[in-house]
Structure 1
């Protein structure tokens, strides 16, 4: 294919993409007339395009759809598709920034104040699902080598990849209820942090506290436990039990030394 032909093809593709997003485009002039007018034919492609990407969003954000309902979610999906066009043929990463689309819809946020954070959780669940399931287990035998003298110098290695964030709403508990189909009343104004990791048993979504996520962040940076405050250290045992660490660095020389 010559350079001129390639340029013409790229321009046609760009014009067609603009038309699919209801943007000014000369592409209708290049569509052959028939039983349907060119704009009617483009509308058929446009509808199929929006429906297809909306289905991708439905698969990524099923809990959000369950909360706001089919009609509201369809409107949010349509807004997202038309605002953030698909830039490549692979739809694996499509759905990023859906949180921003939701956050821009004031009536939705006012009606369901936790929906943006729930969407953020679902996106991170989707990201975690793209990774190989984590099979690491904490070496509990190393705990016997910890003493008061060496504790502050020890650094824990985080079982990566792991995602976490803090929310003003109990989104982890809400996600767990919806996915298990065991809905019960809860205080949606209760702050809650969340940890997400892909395990061999399935997706792990842990409801926790800001102190726990702060401790994870500290450990990811390679900082010793001496840099953690008391509230963070109170979460250490729980995080160890959840197998969120793979080993302890800084132990005395011996069988489990670095």
Structure 2
């Protein structure tokens, strides 16, 4: 193992000894100095996870969360210098973390929080003006070919649990009272201006939006989706500045 690899491994695994060859300029014990540095690095990574997954932390409590995060840090160290990207696999880790099995919706809450982080850091894109969209929808000669490009921050999530309601309940006074935990929900996550917003939408609306993301024309996307309120869904997309480009034969 190279010196760099040995240092990196010991930095994240408290069971490993101080790497050989380290020295201290002031004569202090290198092992003690390394232990302090290792603790600071691990604490920083755990804090980064806590910042990115605040509702997950609330659901299990700080002590449990930090112990779970410490295990994740040791198993999956950062692969990027961007801390906003750290924890991309945290939800999958929670799925397999046996001590968290008593909170079956925890991993999906983590997935929702990670998508919120992705939405926040997504590229900017100017929305199409509402009057342009209205004109395109009113032009029958181009309607069959009308395609929408949606904002880069938009994400969809399906959960077997009431993940949106659980997340929303922890934005003020944390409580799951009155929430039907096992009532599955479809989440729409997007950034509107500087604010990341989360909505619970119907299954049909989620399928429809997925078709739009995949490039299907508006009418085909609607026809290939389970029953849903098309007008209401389009109104939401327009109001939240999600539509960033129109591709149709008739351009207003």
With the shorter chain as reference, the TM-score category is: 0.7 to 0.9
**Which residue matches 1:234?**
228
Partners of 1:71 and 1:170 lie apart in 2 by: 25
Q: Is residue 21 from structure 1 mapped to residue 15 from structure 2 by the alignment?
A: no
Partners of 1:182 and 1:238 lie apart in 2 by: 30
Partners of 1:211 and 1:152 lie apart in 2 by: 20
Q: Is residue 189 from structure 1 mapped to residue 182 from structure 2 by the alignment?
A: yes
Q: Which runs of 4+ in 1 moved over 6 A?
A: 23-26
Query: Could you tell me how far 1:27 is from its partner in structure 2?
Result: 5.3
Give unpaired runs (5+ residues) of structure 1: 1-9
SS at match of 2:180: coil
Query: Could you tell me how far 1:158 is from its partner in structure 2?
Result: 2.5
Q: Please, which of 76, 88, 113 is the counterpart of residue 96 of structure 1?
A: 88
Query: Could you tell me how far 1:221 is from its partner in structure 2?
Result: 2.1
**Which residue matches 1:3?**
none
Partners of 2:135 and 2:87 lie apart in 1 by: 42
- Name which one, 1 or 2, has greater alpha-carbon Rg: 1
**Which residue matches 1:67?**
59
Partners of 1:247 and 1:130 lie apart in 2 by: 20
For residues 124-135 of structure 1, the aligned pairs below 5 Å read: 124-132=115-123
Q: Please, which of 213, 225, 237 is the counterpart of residue 206 of structure 2?
A: 213
For residues 168-179 of structure 1, the aligned pairs below 5 Å read: 168-179=160-171
- When the two structures are superposed, what TM-score results if normalisation uses the length of structure 1? 0.80
Count of residue correspondences: 242
Q: Is residue 245 from structure 1 mapped to residue 243 from structure 2 by the alignment?
A: yes
What is the root-mean-square deviation of aligned Cα atoms in Å? 2.9
Cα pair 1:135 1:200 within 8 Å, conserved: no
Query: Could you tell me how far 1:230 is from its partner in structure 2?
Result: 7.2
Distance change (3 Å), C-alpha of 1:144 and 1:102: closer
In the TM superposition, what whole-angstrom CA distance separates every residue of 1:66-108 from its partner, at most 9, and x where no partner exists? 1111011101110111001123443231111011221111231
Query: Could you tell me how far 1:233 is from its partner in structure 2?
Result: 5.7
Distance change (3 Å), C-alpha of 1:236 and 1:194: same
In the TM superposition, what whole-angstrom CA distance separates every residue of 1:213-247 from its partner, at most 9, and x where no partner exists? 21111112222323534754623222211123346
In the TM superposition, what whole-angstrom CA distance separates every residue of 1:109-143 from its partner, at most 9, and x where no partner exists? 2x211110000011111011112555525445326
Q: Is residue 202 from structure 1 mapped to residue 208 from structure 2 by the alignment?
A: no
Partners of 1:104 and 1:28 lie apart in 2 by: 31
Cα pair 1:133 1:198 within 8 Å, conserved: no
Partners of 2:174 and 2:125 lie apart in 1 by: 27
Q: Please, which of 18, 22, 41 is the counterpart of residue 33 of structure 2?
A: 41
- When the two structures are superposed, what TM-score results if normalisation uses the length of structure 2? 0.82
Instruction: Name the stretch that deviates more: 83-92 or 25-34.
Output: 25-34
Q: Is residue 115 from structure 1 mapped to residue 106 from structure 2 by the alignment?
A: yes
Cα pair 1:215 1:228 within 8 Å, conserved: yes
Distance change (3 Å), C-alpha of 1:227 and 1:62: closer
Partners of 1:65 and 1:23 lie apart in 2 by: 23
